[in-house]
Amino acid sequence: MLRHSLFCYCFLTATIAFAQHWPQASGPNLNWKAEGPEPPLTWSVVNNRNIRWRTTLPEGGQSAVTVWGNRAFVTTHHPMDETSDRLESNIVGYCLDADTGRILWTVDLPGTDPVQTAGIFSDATVFAPVTDGEHVWFFNRCGSMGCFDFDGNQIWLREYQPRKRHTNRQCEPILLGDRIITVEVRDKEAAQQLERHKPVPDAINPRDVWTYLHAIDKHTGEVVWIGETGTSVHNTPMAAQLPDGRWAIAHGRGGGHGPLEKPYGVSLTLATTGQTLWSREFAGDCSWNSHWDGHRVFWFDHMSHVVLDAATGRTISSHSLVENAKFIDRHPHTGGARRDQEKLTITPGRMPLTNQTNIVAGNWHYFLAHDITAIGRVHLETGRTEYLRVPVQLVAGDEPREILEKNDAIPNDTKNSRGIDIAPDKRAKGTGWGHVSAASPILINRHLFIPIMNGTVYVVDAFAETFDQTALISINDLGPAGETWTLASFSYANGRLWMHTMKEVICIGED
């Protein structure tokens, strides 16, 4: 009991100290939400409006920006040239001055399993750094994590063999007190015999090469515990506190290319020990953020939204995301007029949302739809479902215009700041809707900030009573259409927003 109390005390103390910082991908409250001075709701990188600074980086990367005081941290690939095969295992961690964007120092993190750069389901740089205000931890999806002080001195470096079977990696590291929660394969040596998307060899126990939650001691890099229940790489686990004070992690199994971890579904695991509290089976995918509020776990089951009791895992409610849904189509060419339909005309499919684009705000669970370009929301209690159609791309400039359909969107050149195309997967040239592991939205006060891969950002009033064009506060750009690419989430602190694109880090704040 003493161990549990000390763990909670340390974490709660740290959370209070995080009030003016963004210490990890999921923010100070571990749920992509924060409150504070209002950041700009409108801006333009193209027109240099409400942009405090921009820092060009030599190579692309996908990680969100981590902010503590006057320090900002981010990762990129090791710079490559035109002759590169675009398979990179080494990354660079950056420390920037958060007030000016000046690069203060860099560190190298080695890797052993090269993956494609600018992959639409992650690459070596996918994980945001985490920090406690004294140290920063960088993560290389290809097989290392390191602890550094705020002057860039290495405290420790942990190298390991990642599992090669899937490229996708969606577990953002979670800093909980003195532990960092990651998802890794249990038997790293045996996992080297696996091939991408192929069955497990007969000589290997499949459970040994599942991926599990791992708790890492932040001071030493040693593994403290490995979870009892598997976690698929497609899922983003999330931590919250149960009513009795215990911290736990919601996490899932399932997804594309036959994830090994079985049975598919969702589990709740104690953050202190890795013990499974309960598991529920759901066939299909789990490519979303595992949002829960301590009392309820919010899940998807094909084209239905499910609310579970966090204490037992039992179903509280289940509602279709298609039947009786309301569809609102916004038409900018007619002054923002809309067309209401009582039933949404989408075909029920395997995926309800664009991967990782869900967030809970008040009584609503928001997400980007998978098969149509619309922002969806479902009421947590009534199941009422609404979709607001939005443009797929903003072309910013002196005469800005909105592109409504995917087929009309300007393809991305996927070039880094040095003019080198670093994306061998042609799907990276798309809009970022549908079959892609996209950025997670964040909620600041009452506004959602939702970026998509092509650099278009939707700002939404998350607590709007009527979900129509008035709830869409603004559509903003992160750079020129066709030349801007990101899979990073926003970060927030002290009235400012930070964003990482393929070419640069951007700080958004009042002029």
Could you read off the pLDDT of 383-415 as tens digits, one per residue? 999 999 999 999 999 999 999 999 999 999 999
Task: Determine the pLDDT at residue 197.
Answer: 79
Is pLDDT of 19 > 70? no
Radius of gyration of the chain (CA): 21
Q: What confidence score (pLDDT) does residue 471 get?
A: 97
- Which H, E and C letters describe 182-205, residue by residue? EEEECCCCHHHHCCCCCCCCCCCC
Report residue 336's pLDDT band, with 50, 70 and 90 as the boundaries: very low
Q: What percent of the chain has pLDDT over 70?
A: 92
- pTM for the full predicted model: 0.95
Q: Report the alpha-carbon distance of residue 213 to residue 218 in Å, rounded.
A: 15
Count the helices and strands in the chain (H runs, E runs). Answer: 1, 38
pLDDT for the residue 462: 99
For residue 178 the two structure tokens come to 């003195």
Mean pLDDT estimate for the chain: 93
* pLDDT reading at 178 higher than 50: yes
**Could you read off the pLDDT of 202-257 as tens digits, one per residue?**
999 999 999 999 999 999 999 999 999 999 999 999 999 999 999 999 999 999 88
Residue-level pLDDT at 1: 37
Query: What's the length of the chain?
Result: 511
194-227 burial code (b ≥16 CB/10 A, e <16) = beeeeebeeeeeeeebbbbbbbbebeebeebbeb
Say if residues 298 and 360 touch (Cβ distance below 8 Å). Answer: yes
How many whole angstroms separate alpha carbon 187 and alpha carbon 205?
A: 10
pLDDT at residue 90, rounded to an integer:
97
pLDDT band with cut points at 50, 70 and 90 for residue 12: very low
Domains identified in the chain and CATH numbers: 2-508 (2.130.10.10)
pLDDT tier, 166 (very low <50, low <70, confident <90, very high otherwise): confident
Query: Poorest-confidence range of 30-34, 82-86, 293-297, 332-336?
Result: 332-336
Answer whether 96's CB lies under 8 Å from 55's CB.
yes
CB distance 269 to 213 below 8 Å: yes
Contacts 24+ apart (CB under 8 A), 335-339: 336/469, 338/468, 338/469
Q: Is the pLDDT of residue 346 over 80?
A: no
- pLDDT average, residue stretch 283-301: 97
99, two tokens = 């007030």
Over the stretch 449-469, which tens digit does the pLDDT of each residue have?
999 999 999 999 999 999 999
* Tokens encoding 210: 């599942």
CA neighbours closer than 13 Å in the CB half-sphere of residue 424: 11
Q: Which helix (H) or strand (E) holds 16?
A: helix 2-17
Q: Which range, 194-198, 322-326, 491-495, is most confident?
A: 491-495
Hey, which residues does 157 pair with through a beta bridge?
A: 146
- Residue bearing tokens 């080695």: 110
Residue 354 has pLDDT above 90, yes or no: yes
